[in-house]
Amino acid sequence: MHFPSPVSIMWIADLIGARVVGNTEGLAVGINELHKVETGDLVFVDHPKYYSICIQSAASFIIINKEIDVPVGKALLITDTPFDAYCKIVKHFRPFEVAPGMFGLNSIAGEGTYIYPSAFVGNHVSIGKNCIIYPNVTIMDYCIIGDNVVIHPGTVIGSDAFYYNTSKDRELWFKQMPSCGRVVIEDNVNIGANCTIDRGVSNDTRIGEGTKFDNLIHIGHDTLIGKNCLLAANVVVAGVVTIEDGVTLWGGVIVNKTLTIGANAVLLGRTGVGSSLAGNKTYWGAPAQEAGAVKRDLVWIKRIPELWRKVNED
């Protein structure tokens, strides 16, 4: 999430009650989580395992619970509870706003777009030209919909990320990180019925131009889907996944988090993806393997009883 304008790091430190070490003159341009962080961003870390990763990342400002060496030009904001500090910043710059009706504040829809009466459009939403938003669609705050987009009944765009800070030393083990990212749907996308597309935690979930969804598809937070992809029913994609251009995911495919599927890959039905896959190949099975190899293995498996009989006869 970008701030409306750059913010003094000392002002932010005062907001969260933190002590600043390093660049006290810096200006933060936004807040981000580690997978998506950019120069000028704030990021938080509260576990020694990730101290070095955060310090060496593109982040300019690190909310942390211990003083450590910091590179020149960067700053540490030291506080006992970095996660809570991060959440406080998000809630300050992106507070909850009640929508005044079925079409929210500061939202717009382009020429030729038709929104059915029972669809809900939240605050600060932009919908392009010549779109059709069918009944019972929900488009949450700050989402962006391009031109010539069709969204079928029951779909939810921009629900909160499934992203929790877990700690067993407190009464509430699972503490949700507030989602301040967006969903961006590019031009000429078709979204089927009863799909759910989660907003980014602090960045964008993006559906590329020309991509088509069947019904009952779930897309996790901060996932990037390329252009002209095809997703069949019951596909589930976890958070922070990159699906490159021209990928086809057939029915029931499940994709684990933080991996990449290369351009023009085809995943046959019920494939389970646990690691990144190269493009321009066809995959099948769980875990995903090249489909030809899986089929050859199945042929040999079917021959096991015959081979066993031959071994016993010998």
| Active site (annotated) includes residue 221 | yes
Given the residues 92, 124, 218, 221, select the one marked as catalytic.
221
Segments of the chain with pLDDT less than 50: none
Q: Give the per-residue pLDDT at 311.
A: 84
pLDDT of residue 35: 81
The full set of domain ranges for the chain reads 2-93, 108-291
CATH 3.90.550.10 is the classification of domain 2-93: no
- Nearby residues of 54 by Cβ (< 8 Å), 6 or more positions away: 34, 43, 45, 62, 64
User: Structure pTM?
Assistant: 0.92
pLDDT of residue 302: 86
Is 33 within 8 Å of 43 (Cβ atoms)?
Answer: yes
- pLDDT of res. 263: 98
CB under 8 Å to 96, separation ≥6 — which residues? none
Beta-carbon count within 10 A of 278 CB? 12
Q: What is the per-residue pLDDT for 314?
A: 64
Q: Report which secondary-structure segment, H or E, holds 302.
A: helix 291-313
Asked whether the beta carbons of 233 and 217 are under 8 A apart, the reply is yes
- Domain 108-291: what homologous superfamily? Hexapeptide repeat proteins (2.160.10.10)
* Distance separating alpha carbons of residues 28 and 107, to the nearest angstrom: 27
The Cβ of residue 115 has, within 10 Å, a number of other Cβ atoms equal to 20
